[in-house]
Structure 1
Amino acid sequence: MKKIILVALLAISACKLATAQETAASQETVELRSKRGVLILPKKGEYAIGFSADPVLLYLGNFFSGGNQAPAVDYPSGFSNTVLGGRIGNAFTGKYLLDDHTAVRARFQFNFTKATNKYIVAANNDGTANNLAPQFAEDKVTIRNNAVLLALGLEKRRGASRVQGVYGGEILLGFNKVKEKADYGNGMGANFPTPVSYENAYNRIPGADSTTSRWTEYNHGATFFAGVRGFAGIEYFFAPKISLGAEFGYTLGFASKKSDSVKLQAMNNTSGNAVEYEAKPTPNNSTGINNFGLGLDNFNANLNLHFYF
Structure 2
Amino acid sequence: MKKILLSAVAVFAFSFANAQELVSSKGENYLPQEGDWSIGFSANSALKFVGNAFNGTSGNEVNFNSNDAQKLPGFTNSITFLGKKFTADNKADRYTANFLFSYEKPKDVDATTQFGLIAGYGKEWRKGSTRLQGFYGFDGLVGFGIPQKDAFNFLVGAQGFVGAEYFVFPKVGLGAQYTYAVAIGYQKSKDANTGVESSKFGFNIGNTNTGLGTASVLLNLYF
User: TM-score normalised to the size of structure 2?
Assistant: 0.70
Unaligned runs of 5+ in 2: 1-19, 54-74, 207-211
Does residue 291 (structure 1) correspond to residue 202 (structure 2)? The answer is yes
Pair 292,80 (structure 1): closer, same or farther in 2 beyond 3 Å: closer
The answer to whether the 8 Å contact 1:94/1:105 transfers is yes
Task: Look up the match of 2:144.
Answer: 175
Quote the Cα distance in structure 2 between the aligned partners of 1:38 and 1:280.
Answer: 63
Is 1:40 matched with 2:20? no
In the TM superposition, what whole-angstrom CA distance separates every residue of 1:150-209 from its partner, at most 9, and x where no partner exists?
111011101110111111111011111123xxxxxxxxxxxxxxxxxxxxxxxxxxxxxx
Larger strand fraction of residues:
2
Question: What is the aligned partner in structure 2 of residue 157 from structure 1?
Answer: 126
Task: Structure 1: give runs of 5+ residues left out of the alignment.
Answer: 1-29, 55-74, 120-139, 180-217, 265-277, 282-286
- Structure 1's 87 and 97: CA in aligned 2 closer, same or farther, altered over 3 A? farther
**Percentage identity across paired residues of the two chains:** 32
Question: Quick one: higher RCO (CA 8 Å, sep 6+), 1 or 2?
Answer: 2
State the match for 2:15 in structure 1: none
Residues 167, 88 of structure 1: alpha-carbon distance in 2 compared, 3 angstrom cutoff: farther
Q: Cα distance 1:118–1:279, how it changes in 2: closer, same or farther (>3 A)?
A: same
User: Are 1:254 and 2:184 matched, yes or no?
Assistant: yes
Displacement of 1:79: 8.4
- Structure with the higher helix share, 1 or 2: 1
Kept in 2, the 8 Å contact 1:227–1:252? The answer is yes
Output the amino acid matched with 2:156: A
Across the aligned residues of Structure 1 and Structure 2, the Cα RMSD in angstroms comes to 2.8
Give the conservation status (yes or no) of the 8 Å contact 2:155–2:183.
Answer: yes
Say whether the 8 Å CA contact 1:234–1:245 is kept in structure 2: yes
Where do residues 10-159 of structure 1 align in structure 2 (5 Å cutoff)?
A: 32-52=22-42, 81-83=51-53, 90-119=79-108, 140-159=109-128
Distance 1:171 1:306 in 2: 20
**Structure 1: 4+ residue segments shifted above 6 A:** none
Larger Rg: 1
The Cα of 1:52 is off from its aligned counterpart by: 3.1
Kept after mapping to 2: 8 A contact 1:31/1:39: no
- Note if contact 2:146-2:153 (Cα within 8 Å) is conserved in structure 1: yes
